[in-house]
Structure 1
Amino acid sequence: MLSDAVHQIYVEYSFLGQEGPEMETPFSILKSSIHRNMVYNFTKTFDIDIENNYENCKMLTELIKNDDVIRFMVISEPLESLERPIQTCQEVGYAEVRFEEIIQQEDNIDIYQYEVLDINHPMNVVGYITVRFEGILAMRKMALTLMAPKGYKAFM
């Protein structure tokens, strides 16, 4: 983030088989000076109703069983330039969210702050990302329902 080559950034991730532009913050933000927050306020909703979105539920259950992670990538996007019309974005850093950490929460909504690690030197912290999860109890109930033996009633 201290590099002069980084001018603006955005965040992207993939989840439940979705990736691409709909999984990116809708715009890039100019890199701010050191010690200033950069706020995106980006929201994405995923349906996990077993009756209507069984495939999402099955994928999410597998992610929970395998204690997988959601990886948020911080991407440097070059400024537009007439001298260099074709430029590529570069990964700057990443933050990983473990499903075990989310699913163990007692509250239905929780906000977490994670370190953004340098993509080239993962021991170096280049910033922090705050992620808010909603529907944690519904996610847990859905996963328990799918993991329970056939015919077992986990909930009344």
Structure 2
Amino acid sequence: MSTRIHPAWPGDPGWIGPYRIIGRLGSGGMGTVHAALDSGGHRVAVKVVHPAQAGDEEFRARFTREVALSQRVTGPCLVPLLAADPSATVPWLATPYVPGPTRGEYTAAHGPLSGARLYALAAGTAAALAAVMQPGWCTAM
């Protein structure tokens, strides 16, 4: 297993939707991202919003719009949405697990991006933004 998958914490759920939790990938301002397995044994990342935000109706509405937009947007530089439940007591969404270092881990080990790697990141970011900004994208906002 990747070194980025950390052990689950006491109190973490054993399951979120149809996904069995096997550890944690990280936590931030929006919530916690759990490492999980689907019924076929494939790794997925399941983002669960913080319980305090789950009680905020404005946040819940934004999360629901994010899920709706993510269901419609596809592209080679985007991680697809597998499943989501924005109406759950604690809303969540699941995507395939994409292994690799964080940006911070990469730059700590290799220094700032430059040359071909920087251009590849910029091109991938532009392709992802182009997919998101297709005509009609703001209808979910």
Task: Decide: shared fold, TM above 0.5.
Answer: no
TM range (shorter): under 0.3
Q: Which has the higher helix share?
A: 2
Q: Which has the higher strand share?
A: 1
Larger C-alpha radius of gyration, 1 or 2? 1
Report the TM-score, using the length of structure 2 for normalisation: 0.23
Report the TM-score, using the length of structure 1 for normalisation: 0.21
